[in-house]
């Protein structure tokens, strides 16, 4: 039998929560069903917005190797600083102006040392590096050069949530990051991406989309009767400038202006983290404070249960949440980001999925009146 031992290197991994860990967690959980023996290499506890220890349930934690790091999120944790917003802003500033491709590269020294030991002791046949952060692929590049081991580079995003061109303020940084991407493209034995447009920008690779976990489908069961005189719109996942909710707000505001009697008959229920400054501005801009309820971050099963009474689900970006929404059996609407650097990144895939697998529609920028008409029809 061929050696199927795999080392998966991912900075973001449970007990860290939110959507960024789902892809690496899925690889760790489901590759063994295809005969692979997977060991995960990740970082120790860091300052992070949300921890979800339930994600570790059922996992063989003896196969999870955690190392220290000198990146700022790890240092803040060791210093006892719990302000994740401060750590995030510091890290963002550092990768923008000083440490590029990103500030997480100060994990690489620790990870590379551990990876070399694991490769020798465990007789590893292949390495998978997962990004973001893109600096993790530098570990794969180093291992490939030293051991000529089979290396798969997995891209959850093109670089960060934005492209290289929009991630750095100077041409020197952009050129440096572009050079790294080219080295990855040439050196990796395989490249895997989550979106078709990410693959197209890299220039090669296979597409393996994220997916919904079948056990979560049962959480969509309604536990009580939904109010018949209201239309409840559910939003699952993070809300910020990269995953905007403004098209929905604008559409509902347009609808209420056209039919004032619907003011008290539309409710938006959100489960997930939110950029509160961004969200507050929108709620004030479109007077929907009485129509919007946010439950904050919850583990996926509880999040789905909270949204099980919704009549309609809204997607503001194409992430793992789209698959959970498709499994709900509910109508799904999506909105493509109107930012020029984001609107083409994943819109084609989201449009195709909603069109082929759900009763719903994806709306392009400036199509809020059409979205309003669609919502009105659901009454």
User: Cα dist. 368→205, 284, 334 in Å?
Assistant: 35, 18, 11
**59-63, 73-77, 358-362, 366-370, range with the lowest pLDDT:** 358-362
- Which are the contacts of 148, defined by CB distance < 8 A and separation ≥ 6? none
DSSP secondary structure string, 27-95?
A: HHHHGGGGT-EEEEEEE-----S-B-GGGGTT--GGGEEEE---SHHHHHHHTT---HHHHHHHHHHHH
Q: Which of 243-247, 253-257, 325-329, 350-354 has the highest mean pLDDT?
A: 253-257
- The span from the CA of 368 to the CA of 263, in Å, is 17
Higher-scoring residue by pLDDT: 41, 54: 41
Which long-range CB contacts under 8 A does 208-216 form with residues at least 24 apart? 209/323, 209/349, 210/22, 210/23, 210/26, 210/319, 210/320, 210/323, 211/26, 211/320, 211/323, 212/320, 212/323, 212/324, 212/326, 212/327, 213/26, 213/300, 216/300, 216/301, 216/304, 216/324, 216/327
What H or E segment, with its residue span, contains residue 335? Answer: strand 332-335
For the stretch 64-117, pLDDT in tens is: 999 999 998 999 899 988 755 544 544 454 555 567 789 899 999 999 999 999
Closest CA to 247 of 318, 352, 338, 323: 338
- 3-state DSSP call for residue 373? helix
CA dihedral 129, 131, 133, 135 (to 10 degrees): 40
For the stretch 121-162, pLDDT in tens is: 999 999 999 999 999 999 999 999 999 999 999 999 888 878
- What is the value of pTM for the model shown? 0.84
User: Cα dist. 212→151, 327, 364, 368 in Å?
Assistant: 26, 7, 25, 28
pLDDT-above-70 percentage for the chain: 88
Confidence of residue 11 (pLDDT cuts 50, 70, 90): very high
- The span from the CA of 13 to the CA of 7, in Å, is 14
For the stretch 279-319, pLDDT in tens is: 888 888 988 888 899 998 888 888 888 888 888 999 876 66
- The span from the CA of 315 to the CA of 274, in Å, is 14
CB 135 within 8 A of CB 108: yes
Averaged over 118-123, what is the pLDDT?
A: 94
Confidence of residue 118 (pLDDT cuts 50, 70, 90): very high
Residue 305 has phi, psi (to 5 degrees) of -60, -40
Closest CA to 16 of 60, 58, 74: 74
């Amino acid at each position: 039998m061929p050696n199927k031992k795999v080392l998966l290197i991912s900075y973001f991994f449970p007990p860290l929560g939110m959507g960024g860990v789902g892809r690496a967690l899925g690889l760790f959980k489901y590759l063994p069903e295809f005969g692979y023996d997977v060991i995960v290499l990740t970082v120790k506890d860091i300052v992070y917005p949300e921890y979800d220890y339930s994600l570790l349930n059922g996992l063989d934690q003896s196969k999870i190797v955690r190392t220290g790091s000198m990146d700022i999120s790890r240092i803040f944790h060791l210093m006892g600083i719990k302000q994740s917003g401060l750590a995030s802003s510091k890290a963002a500033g550092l990768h923008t102006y000083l440490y590029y491709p990103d500030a997480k590269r100060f994990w690489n020294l620790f990870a590379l040392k551990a990876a070399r030991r694991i490769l020798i002791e465990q007789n590893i046949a292949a390495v998978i590096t997962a990004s973001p952060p893109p600096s993790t692929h530098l570990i794969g590049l180093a291992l490939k050069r030293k051991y000529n081991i089979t290396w798969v580079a997995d891209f959850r995003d093109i670089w960060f949530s934005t492209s290289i061109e929009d991630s750095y303020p100077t041409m020197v940084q952009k050129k440096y990051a572009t050079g790294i991407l080219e080295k990855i493209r040439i050196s990796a034995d395989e490249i895997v991406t989550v979106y078709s447009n990410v693959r197209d920008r890299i220039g090669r690779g296979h597409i393996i989309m994220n997916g919904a976990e079948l056990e979560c489908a049962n959480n969509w069961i309604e536990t009580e009767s939904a109010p018949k005189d209201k239309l409840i719109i559910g939003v699952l996942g993070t809300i910020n400038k990269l995953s905007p909710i403004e098209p929905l707000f604008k559409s509902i505001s347009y609808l209420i202006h056209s039919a004032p009697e619907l003011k008290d008959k539309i409710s938006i229920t959100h489960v997930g983290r939110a950029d509160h400054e961004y969200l507050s501005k929108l709620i004030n801009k479109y007077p929907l404070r009485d129509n919007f309820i946010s439950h904050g971050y919850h583990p996926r099963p509880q999040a789905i249960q909270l949204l099980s009474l919704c009549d309609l689900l809204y997607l503001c970006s194409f992430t793992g949440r789209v698959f959970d929404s498709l499994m709900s059996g509910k109508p799904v609407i999506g909105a493509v980001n109107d930012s020029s650097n984001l609107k083409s990144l994943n819109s084609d895939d989201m449009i195709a999925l909603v069109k082929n697998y759900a009763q719903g529609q994806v709306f392009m920028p400036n199509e809020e009146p059409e979205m309003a008409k669609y919502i009105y029809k659901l009454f």
